[in-house]
């Protein structure tokens, strides 16, 4: 699938831990935007969309949350609860973020500026577009 957990290298010394994220050393795409999500109430599900081109890395820098990642062919739920693990999410992956702990802060590194026309928010529309996308990108299925 066009998503995977990425191990982020920790620089540890007697003062604590630091994780650098720099393109092209640790990041596979040049960064154009960051945002973070926090204060998400119990029972809330965010996301529920796909992106046509955007690549992102999601990191729970504090607390924990789950991410459901879906294509027309597969589905899995990934728990993010470790600031040294990133979830890379490539184009044409349906995502939903849920089960945020009270202290969860989800940091997102994005390859492009915010662009609403890159979002697919209707699941039927997503399935139609994803079928043709994965037909021509079989290696990402
Ligand atoms: C994604 C998941 C992981 C902006 O103005 N600029 C931004 O960069 C973003 C991301 C959002 N917004 C506005 C658009 C909406 O009015 O912030 C509001 C909430 O955005 P949205 O409902 O899209 O948030 P989520 O949590 O459902 O999804 C977000 C990202 O939008 C999305 O790209 O992959 O986090």
Chain segment 2-31, per-residue pLDDT in tens: 999 999 999 999 999 999 999 999 999 999
Q: Is 37 in the pocket of ligand 1 (CB under 6 A)?
A: yes
Task: Write down the catalytic residue from 49, 51, 112, 137.
Answer: 49
- Quote the pTM value: 0.97
Burial of 100 (0-12, 13-18, 19+ CB in 10 A): buried
- Counting residues of the chain whose pLDDT is more than 90, the rounded percentage is 94
pLDDT number for residue 140: 72
* Reported confidence tier of residue 137, pLDDT bands at 50, 70, 90: confident
Quote the CA–CA distance of 45 and 47 in Å, as a whole number.
Answer: 7
Residue 106: helix, strand or coil by DSSP?
strand
Beta strands in the chain (DSSP E): 3-7, 11-13, 16-18, 33-38, 46-51, 56-62, 65-70, 75-80, 85-89, 94-98, 105-110, 119-120
Closest C-alpha to 90, from 122, 118, 62:
118
Tokens of 19: 């994780």
User: Does the Cβ of 50 fall within 6 Å of ligand 1?
Assistant: no
Based on the residue annotation, tell me whether 49 is a catalytic residue of this protein. yes
Q: Kindly give the distance from the C-alpha atom of residue 106 to the centroid of ligand 1, in angstroms, as a whole number.
A: 12
Task: Determine the average pLDDT of the residues in 124-141.
Answer: 89
């Amino acid at each position: 699938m066009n998503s995977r957990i990425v191990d982020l290298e920790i620089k540890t010394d007697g003062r604590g831990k630091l994780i650098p994220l720099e393109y092209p050393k640790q990041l596979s795409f040049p960064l154009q935007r960051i945002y973070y999500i926090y204060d998400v109430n119990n029972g809330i599900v965010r996301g529920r969309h796909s992106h046509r081109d955007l690549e992102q890395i999601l990191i729970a820098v504090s607390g924990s949350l789950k991410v459901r990642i879906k294509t027309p062919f597969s589905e899995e739920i990934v728990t993010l609860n470790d600031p040294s693990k990133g979830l890379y999410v490539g184009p044409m992956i349906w995502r939903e973020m849920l089960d945020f702990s009270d202290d969860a802060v989800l940091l997102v590194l994005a390859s492009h500026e915010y662009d609403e026309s890159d979002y697919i928010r209707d699941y039927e529309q997503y399935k139609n577009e994803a079928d043709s996308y994965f037909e021509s990108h079989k290696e990402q299925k």
